[in-house]
Each structure stands twice: as structure tokens, then as C-alpha cells.
Structure 1
Amino acid sequence: MRVLRYALGSTIGLMMIAAVYLWWVLLSPFGYEPPEDLAAIPDGESQVFVYGTLTHAPVRWLVYGRAGSPDAAILPGYRKRELDLVAEQGHQVEGLVLNVSEEELAALDRYERLGYRYERVRVQIADGSNVWVYVRL
């Protein structure tokens, strides 16, 4: 019985630590301050190509408050390497294109830690559209 209580207590403790970490990273205004030299967020709606965790609806809902209706897309001339994209001819990355508002783009910037872990750059996807993508610094 003691072992069961200890295991349950440890599991709950780990879940609480994970929940606090996710809140801090995804939602907290305290965990991220954009660098001063970053360009302003563009006005209006933006399209963002995502290829990792943001392809999952629950993650998008946690990050910017809705799952949205993303479109499947292909980014030619790149390959995925762990959490990053690497330019490489003859390869392509499958992902999604999100249509996001200015506020949602700011939430994505916070999630990706724009200026610290990633930069947001313009790329052309297979259908010819120019979209944003986060590339590791």
C-alpha cells in the first residue's frame, strides 16, 4: 500500500511539474521577452508553414487558442533534421500551413522563442505561396 501511494504521489508530482513547464513555455507572458531588434509583426493575417509539434491540433489549441483549419503543404528544397529545417536540394518537408491573426502570430513567436531559439523567415512552398516558417538559429 505504501509503495502504491508513493508511486501515485510521484506520478502526480511529475505531472504537476510538466503542467507548470508547459504553462511557462506556451502561455506565460513571463517566460519570453522578444529581443528589441526583432522586426514588427506584420499587419493582418499571416500564413505559417509548420512541420513539427504545431502539426498537432491540441498543441495549436494550447499555443494560440484554437486548432484552426490548416492546409496540407510541402516545402521543397529542405529536409527535416530533428527540430530544424536544413536547406537541401532534392528533398522536401511535409507539413501544414496555418492562417493566423497578428495576435496568434505573436503567440507562435513566443512558443518558438523567436530571436532566441528560432527565426521566422519567408519561404516558398510547393504551390507557389510565400509563407513564414520558423528555422532554428
Structure 2
Amino acid sequence: MHRRYLVITALVVMLAVLGWLWLTMLSPFTYERPDHLPDIEEGEHAVFVYGTLRLAPIRWVVMGRAGETEPASLEGFRRDGLDLAEAPGERVEGEVIVVDAGELQRLDRYERLGIRYERVPMRLEDGRMVWVYRRLSELQRPAIDGATI
């Protein structure tokens, strides 16, 4: 009986985690791309990831594949919680992943582009131009019912 309880509990926890992942990363109910954002251009896009998207399982859930990454550095910045802060003489270690337009759209959804983050072009230490997600300031975040997100 005890073993059955553990199996049921593990299944409930796993379903809860999968439900949360679906709701926050894939669900059409939790994100609507703001109208003011430009359309995503077709083709390949290089994206510098420095947080949770460095983890292959997260990329697989978000994009539908883990993708190949390569190490990269962004000079003049440091990690500051969920964002980057300018910091001369410092660098942020991360990875670059090359994605197509559909995958970039799914990454935008995960990062809540236009609501929590913006996607900006930046130059890496090796000279490559990549997209980098930067946290929107409180002033940039849209208001919902008088409160910022």
C-alpha cells in the first residue's frame, strides 16, 4: 500500500510539473505577443543565452529541440539576477544557439517578449551579432489594471 501511495504521489507531482511547464511555456492562454513588436524575419537567428535557456531540457520544452550550442562571452556586462547589468571589465559566459523563425517565436513566448523582456541585438566578444533577451525596466513594462507586471 505504501509503494502505491508513492507511485501515485510521484505521478501527481510529475503531472503538476508538466502542466505548469505547458501553461507557462507553451499555452496560448498565458501570453499574447504585443501588437507593437515587429514581425520575426524568416531565416536563422543567433541567440545568446545566459540563464535557464542554457539547459538543454528547458530548450527542448520551449523550442521542441535542445539544439546545438557553442560557448560564448558577452563583454562589459555581469549577471544581475534575471538580467544583465553593464559592468566594464567583466563578462557574462553563456552559449549561442542558432534557431529558425518559429523557434525564435517560441523563445519570445518563453521570455514574454514585450512584457517581461526585450530582445536586442548585441555584439559578442568574438564579434558575432546575436539576439540577447534583456529584462524590461519597471517603466517599460505594460500596465495591467493599473499595475505593472
TM-score, structure 2 normalization = 0.83
The CA distance in 2 between the partners of 1:45 and 1:93, in whole Å, is: 23
Code of the residue aligned with 2:58 in structure 1: it is: V
Shift of 1:12: 4.2
The CA distance in 1 between the partners of 2:7 and 2:42, in whole Å, is: 49
Shift of 1:23: 0.6
Q: Quote the residue 2:111 is aligned against.
A: 112
- SS of structure 2 residue aligned to 1:107: helix
Code of the residue aligned with 1:87 in structure 2: it is: E
- The alignment status of 1:121 with 2:120, answered yes or no, reads yes
TM-score, structure 1 normalization = 0.89
The CA distance in 1 between the partners of 2:38 and 2:79, in whole Å, is: 26
Shift of 1:42: 2.1
Code of the residue aligned with 1:115 in structure 2: it is: G
Shift of 1:29: 2.3
- SS of structure 2 residue aligned to 1:93: strand
Q: Quote the residue 2:58 is aligned against.
A: 59
Query: Is there any run of 5+ residues in structure 1 with no aligned partner, and where?
Result: none
Write the deviation string for residues 77-128 of structure 1: whole angstroms up to 9, x where unpaired.
1100121111111110000001000000000000111011110001110010
Q: Quote the residue 1:100 is aligned against.
A: 99
Q: Quote the residue 2:36 is aligned against.
A: 37
Shift of 1:27: 1.7
Moved more, 91-100 or 39-48: 39-48
Shift of 1:8: 6.1
Number of aligned residues: 136
Shift of 1:10: 5.1
The CA distance in 2 between the partners of 1:7 and 1:67, in whole Å, is: 31
Q: Quote the residue 2:74 is aligned against.
A: 75
